[in-house]
Structure 1
Amino acid sequence: MDKYSYISNADVGYIDQLYQNYKQDPTGVDPTWQKFFEGYDFSTQRFGENGHTETGGNIKETQVRNLIFAYRSFGHLKATTNPIRERRDHGVNLAHSSFGLTDADLDTEFDVAAEIGM
């Protein structure tokens, strides 16, 4: 049995809303969620050889990689696969802005091919 199987049953929309609330006011969510999101934010940071966080392009590349993995995991829930009836809304948010990317980033090339197996 997969030790992370409980995560697949999570309400992604609810967790995303909690995270948005956390980003606006960390004290506005339950302390256990605060710790969870602190760990999530920490995990998305990249550290250089000197132990300091890297900035700029490296962070954007991480955000692009996270968006790619989200599409791989949840893209089928947004795709129109049945032309006869509309897709049920599963609450999956794949907007680039939800991953820290802006419209200006859409015209930028990022080097993430090696990290996603291409």
Structure 2
Amino acid sequence: MSSRSLQDELCVSSLSGGNMAYIDSLYEDFLADPLSVSADWQDFFKSLAPDNASDQTLSHRAIRAYLLSRPTTTAAQSSTPDNKQYQVANLINAYRALGHHAANLDPLDMAKRLAVPSLDLAYHKLSEADFKKLFYAGGYFSQTQMPLKDILQALKETYTGSIGIEYMHISNSDETNWLQERMETTRGQT
């Protein structure tokens, strides 16, 4: 190996990336029982001793076996206020983006209003049981924190009243924020 460069050695060696799975398997066998591999591989793996002699080389198989033997747990969806707040924020965003589809644009009520599932409380895992709980409303409505019932009423007045407000397609965030502030502070009455 001394007559060739390291790069040349790697090109013709069994240590190339294509053999990585095989070499890894041999190394796992070596860690379990050094005599289970040929003398050449024993010498090679012994030359790979850690820089710090106090380090212990752990077998990947042993680690995998340990992790697989542990009891599995599933993460339950939390019903903490933070999770409910997230659901309320999604409801507010749904009204901002799609409320105009459910706007009352027919003063004679001759046409049926379009049903928009993402504007329903149940779609966001909210219910009338949450009506009295306080949630952050974003600041543009009359208060920063409001009961869900008041937030829903404000959203309906602003976005599904007799004026359909569609502005979420505007790419300029300053313009979007300006329109959102004007519509939500007046609840769509200007």
Q: Which has the higher contact order (CA 8 A, sep 6+)?
A: 1
Tell me the TM-score normalized by structure 1: 0.45
Tell me the TM-score normalized by structure 2: 0.29
* Structure with the greater alpha carbon radius of gyration: 2
